[in-house]
A and B are shown apart, each in its own frame.
Chain A
Amino acid sequence: MIRRLQDLTIGQKRAIWAWGFLALPVAFYVSIRFYPTVEAFRASFTNWNIVGRMEFIGLANYARLVQDPSFWKVIGNTFAYLGLGVPISMLLSFVIAFFLDRVRVGHGLLRALYFIPHLTTAVAMAWVWRWFYQPPPVGAFNVWLTGLGFGQMPFLRSTTQALPAVLAPAIWAGIGFQIVIFLAGLKAIPRTYYEAAAIDGAGAWRVLFEVTLPLLRPTIVFLVVTSSIAYLRIFDYVYAMTNGQGGPIDATKPLVLKIFETAFTHFEMGYAATQTVILFAILLAISLVQLKLLRSR
């Protein structure tokens, strides 16, 4: 065996080394990522209910999904999380990063303060916000609202306000990360562009739209794609703030929570796998479209 190794070319030896080192992660990924993914696709065509055998039922789960009103409800909610979460968090984090970039006094401290929510456990934070949303005299938000002379708000006990109320702490935690990435992006823009723009007499808005934002494109692409995926997969905040129900009356239930319920409280693993396949397709499609739109030009 040793003699045969010596007969190999340098290139072949390198390849063997590389694959030798890669073997472990590849085996790991194949066994705990790819194999279950393939299994999930297979399960989506069965009526497997955890106990008992998997029975192939063709597209029946997909047909059922299309006719399931609660599926369309959670799809609507999921896109509401996405549609509100991404623009609001992108705008907030950019504005904060833009001005934070110019602050010299206490820059490090401020940056740390914005980043801390990102480090906090989602469940702990969700519970603190749950108490913030309580009616007066317990809930901080309602105490402030009534103190300022406004009426009190039902927040989590409302079918219209509950979804934004659950989204708020998720945005708050998410922007910490986005701000840090934006700051890095802003720092990476060479000063010379700004100097040239100043010499040409460009105003602040013009500099923003024609220098800063175009040069931040890679940063923006990265953040839009990652935050879209995060909001499409929102789960922990909803679970912790609504006792795992996604209520009231499904007003806050995202697709991932429905998948969780279908799989682990109704034990319809096949039907849950079908929903997972749909989620996978949505994530893939949205990511590809965003990459294409934001990268081109």
Chain B
Amino acid sequence: MTTKIGKLAFWLVAIPAMALSWTGSARAQVEIEYWQYTFAQRVQAIDELIKRFEAANPGIKVKHTHIPYDDFRVKIAAAIPAGQGPDVVQLFYGWLQDYLKAGLLQPLPASEFSVVEIEREYFPIVQQMKVDGKYYALPTAVRSLALFWNKALFKEAGLNPDRPPATLDELVDYAKKLTKRNANGDLVQAGLTIDMGGQDHHWLREVLIRQFGGAPYSADKKTVTYNSSAGVNATQWYIDLAAKQKVGQIGFLTDGVTAFRSGKAGMTIDGSFRLGALDSQKGLDYGVAELPAHNGIKSNFASYWVNGITTKATGSKRDAAVKFLQFITTPEAMELWMNTVGELPARKSVAEKDANKNHAKYGPFIRGLTYSYATDFVNESAQRKVLIDMVDTVVLKTVPTKDAVAQAAAEEQKLLDAFYKK
């Protein structure tokens, strides 16, 4: 009886294994794995790129695995040290340090990925992927922030629907005209969404603080520097949008995206990844503009996902992985990615083609990239929470802005210290 079961178990394992190896050897000499998180358009874009790559490289087969976002990091962390999982992997730029510490990535070979060429070709934010003179990962696409405005509401408020505000002063002025309250003074339409839980914390951190003459972090990124008059003034200006200018309300219609999508907010600040959702909203006629300038300063926040080669890939698999990474960072791949996913090309030459740079919706994001900053997050969600709590402390606990900013800076410094001393 035991031998029977043993035999059965053997065949149960052996048959699929043989089938797999047979199809593998029949169709390609080398098979590499590519992993990213599940997101319909990203999956579609990579599937199409793999099809083209395999057609051009008959000896290589790429297996595409996508994993729900919530499990993504856990699965990669478990798989690679065990010698399984991806040869080429997609990761958020802010995770690089963690991945390097855990020994999950190998440097990109300088012969195929020249440092000089990368720095000439890519937007400067990508330089964060360089550690000790070596690049560890490259993006296909990048994203930035822009101002979205509702053209119908502009018309209704007597504003020119084709002329968005260019400065912060204009922003406040327009927002006032776009704000509507009922007889009781209750807000029924916001001029501008005020939502730190959305993209506003990036706007405050990398844009407003700089426009008020400060900087969020020191040049070596290890010290929080917004506990300054610039930091306090920027924060006060942001809080005054609701408190003094009364052009919006924190939590209005639960969040900024909902308010803008439902046509109950004149303007909002959001990322390029929102274009798809807004385009699918029937009856919403909106425009996209570069973030308003202040004191002659323009700034933006950019972020991106990168592709790296894992330490699992060796020998012929590594060579195949290098080829695949080269392929998905070609100008052709970047254009495909933009048109499928809605994210912006990471190579300046592609992004700044006239057709892209002057595109009605991608254009403002691309122009914003040239003067953007990618925050060196050590723990994005914790650092985001520090700023959300900073604003809430002033608004809900009537703590003076100066004290709340100082408290937030100290709190965030602790996070940086904990990370860099490791």
Q: How large is the interface on A (under 10, 10 to 19, 20 to 34, 35 or more residues)?
A: 20 to 34
For chains A and B in complex, what number of residue pairs have CB atoms within 8 angstroms? 72
Let me know if B389 and A136 touch, CB within 8 A. Answer: no
How far apart sit A144 and B55, CA to CA, in the bound complex (Å)? Answer: 66
Let me know if B397 and A159 touch, CB within 8 A. Answer: yes
Which residue on chain A has the smallest CB distance to residue B197?
A: A243
Cross-interface CB contact of B389 among A1, A247, A264, A265, cutoff 8 Å: A247
A32 at the interface (CB under 8 A from B): no
Let me know if B186 and A136 touch, CB within 8 A. Answer: yes
Residues facing B in A134-157 (CB within 8 A) are 134-138, 146, 156-157
Let me know if A50 and B396 touch, CB within 8 A. Answer: no
Q: Given A50-B77, A51-B98, A130-B254, check contact A248 B197 (CB 8 Å).
A: no
A interface vs B, CB < 8 Å?
1, 49-52, 130-131, 134-138, 146, 156-159, 243, 245, 247-250, 261, 264-267
Let me know if A135 and B249 touch, CB within 8 A. Answer: yes
Q: Given A1-B1, A51-B77, A247-B392, check contact A134 B253 (CB 8 Å).
A: yes
Mask of B57-84 contacts with A, CB within 8 angstroms, 1/0: 0000000000000100110110001000
Let me know if B197 and A245 touch, CB within 8 A. Answer: yes
Chain B residues near A249: list those with CB within 8 A.
389, 392-393, 396-397
B382 to chain A, nearest CB (A): 6
Let me know if A136 and B184 touch, CB within 8 A. Answer: yes
Chain B residues near A243: list those with CB within 8 A.
197, 255
A132 to chain B, nearest CB (A): 11
B188 at the interface (CB under 8 A from A): yes
Which residue on chain B has the smallest CB distance to residue A243?
A: B197
B251 at the interface (CB under 8 A from A): yes
Chain B residues near A247: list those with CB within 8 A.
388-389, 392
Q: Given A136-B186, A265-B382, check contact A51 B101 (CB 8 Å).
A: yes
Which residue on chain B has the smallest CB distance to residue A130?
A: B254
The 7 closest A-B pairs by CB, nearest first: A51-B102, A51-B77, A265-B381, A52-B102, A248-B392, A50-B77, A136-B186
Cross-interface CB contact of B187 among A131, A135, A157, A248, cutoff 8 Å: A135
A256 to chain B, nearest CB (A): 16
B interface vs A, CB < 8 Å?
1, 70, 73-74, 76-77, 81, 98-99, 101-104, 182, 184, 186-188, 197, 249-255, 379, 381-382, 385, 388-389, 392-393, 396-397
A146 to chain B, nearest CB (A): 7
Cross-interface CB contact of B396 among A131, A137, A157, cutoff 8 Å: A157
Chain B residues near A130: list those with CB within 8 A.
254
B294 to chain A, nearest CB (A): 28
A10 to chain B, nearest CB (A): 23
Let me know if A248 and B396 touch, CB within 8 A. Answer: yes
Let me know if A267 and B102 touch, CB within 8 A. Answer: no
Q: Given A249-B389, A249-B393, check contact A157 B250 (CB 8 Å).
A: yes
Chain A residues near B392: list those with CB within 8 A.
159, 247-249
Let me know if B98 and A146 touch, CB within 8 A. Answer: no
Let me know if B253 and A138 touch, CB within 8 A. Answer: yes
How far apart sit A135 and B101, CA to CA, in the bound complex (Å)? Answer: 47
Chain A residues near B251: list those with CB within 8 A.
134-135, 156-157
B80 to chain A, nearest CB (A): 8
Most A-side CB within 10 Å, residue of B102, B187, B251, B255: B251
Q: Given A131-B254, A249-B389, A265-B381, check contact A51 B99 (CB 8 Å).
A: yes
Let me know if A146 and B1 touch, CB within 8 A. Answer: no
Instruction: Supply 7 A–B pairs (Cβ within 8 Å), ascending by A.
Output: A1-B1, A51-B99, A135-B251, A146-B184, A159-B392, A264-B70, A265-B382
B101 to chain A, nearest CB (A): 7
Most B-side CB within 10 Å, residue of A50, A52, A158, A248: A248
Most A-side CB within 10 Å, residue of B74, B197, B381, B396: B396
A52 to chain B, nearest CB (A): 4
Let me know if B254 and A134 touch, CB within 8 A. Answer: yes
Let me know if A266 and B379 touch, CB within 8 A. Answer: yes
Cross-interface CB contact of A267 among B70, B73, B103, B397, cutoff 8 Å: B73
Chain B residues near A137: list those with CB within 8 A.
182, 184, 186, 188
A2 to chain B, nearest CB (A): 10
How far apart sit A31 and B385, CA to CA, in the bound complex (Å)? Answer: 37
Chain A residues near B104: list those with CB within 8 A.
51
Knowing that A138-B253, A249-B392 touch, tell me 15 more A-B residue pairs with CB under 8 angstroms.
A50-B74, A51-B77, A51-B98, A52-B101, A130-B254, A131-B254, A134-B252, A135-B186, A135-B187, A135-B251, A137-B182, A159-B392, A249-B393, A266-B379, A266-B381
Which residue on chain A has the smallest CB distance to residue B264?
A: A138
Chain A residues near B382: list those with CB within 8 A.
265-266
A3 to chain B, nearest CB (A): 14
How far apart sit A261 and B251, CA to CA, in the bound complex (Å)? Answer: 22
Which residue on chain B has the smallest CB distance to residue A50?
A: B77
How far apart sit A1 and B379, CA to CA, in the bound complex (Å)? Answer: 62
Most B-side CB within 10 Å, residue of A52, A159, A247, A249: A249
